[in-house]
Amino acid sequence: MLNIILMGPPGAGKGTQAKKIIAAYGIPHISTGDMFREAIAAKTPTGELAASYINKGMLVPDEVTIALVKERLSKDDCAKGFLLDGFPRTIPQAEALEKLTKEINRPISAVINITAEKDVLVKRITGRRVCKSCGAPFHIETLKPKVEGVCDYCGGELMQRKDDTLESLAVRLDAYEHQTLPLVKFYADRNLLHDIDGLIGLENVFKIICDIFERIK
């Protein structure tokens, strides 16, 4: 069963690999970042709360994030596998997820941890453009769309994310280091962790992910 967690710092390539994984394996993509951005666009109370944290680069409070994932993971389409992208990001989130996956009998089968150094992350994030409609990530130098400003997947308009400024990124990297990095040990202790060097190119990263999936399927 592919019950997967995709981890890594901002700009490691989680969203990019998630697009390829969904296309190849057809499992639901549960990205807390995307869910919050949808809530912000829809101007829901959760969206308004989330925006006040996300735009500054801070993590949204655990109780809000955990409730969102609990509801989504319990849906029927997750019975045959799921891809969690950007969740969990704190030890309380990981503990809540462990409890939930036991309750619903959908245990995590692998944690893919994509790594990359800070200077690379800064270049990737500041040069990133995302689709307004489907969220697909592109880059002004390394991953240009076929037509400038237009999404290859859905034809939507490309834009820069509000939290992709140098100021917000510094806060996001700090949150990653202090709140998310402890999860590496958490999942290594459970023999679930697979580290992948995120600097080896999109296709090479994807090939390693596919090899892992074939072993655990």
Write out the residues near ligand AP5 by the rule CB under 6 A: 8, 10-16, 32-33, 36, 53-54, 57-60, 65, 86-89, 93, 124-125, 128, 137-139, 142-143, 163, 172, 198, 201-202, 205
| Per annotation, catalytic residue among 14, 37, 106, 124 | 14
* Residue with Cβ nearer ligand AP5 (207 or 217): 207
106 part of the active site: no
* Residue with Cβ nearer ligand AP5 (34 or 109): 34
| Per annotation, catalytic residue among 89, 106, 124, 129 | 89
14 part of the active site: yes
| Per annotation, catalytic residue among 37, 106, 128, 129 | 128
| Per annotation, catalytic residue among 37, 106, 129, 172 | 172
81 contacts 1 by C-beta, under 8 angstroms: yes
- Least CB distance to ligand AP5 at residue 126 (A): 9
The residue whose Cβ lies closest to ligand AP5 is 33
C-alpha dihedral over 88, 89, 95, 96, to 10 degrees? -60
* Residue with Cβ nearer ligand AP5 (117 or 217): 117
What does the radius of gyration of the chain's CA atoms come to, in whole angstroms?
Answer: 16
Q: What are phi and psi of 65, to 5 degrees?
A: -70, -40
Complete edge-to-edge strand list for the sheet that includes strand 29-31: 29-31, 82-85, 3-7, 110-115, 193-197
* Residue with Cβ nearer ligand AP5 (12 or 27): 12
172 part of the active site: yes
Place of tokens 């019950």: 3
161 part of the active site: yes
190 part of the active site: no
User: 94 Cβ partners below 8 Å, 6+ apart?
Assistant: 88, 183, 186, 187
Strands 128-131 vs 137-139: parallel, antiparallel or unpaired: antiparallel
Collapsing DSSP to helix, strand or coil, 177 comes out as helix
Report, as residue numbers or ranges, the catalytic residues.
Answer: 14, 89, 128, 161, 172
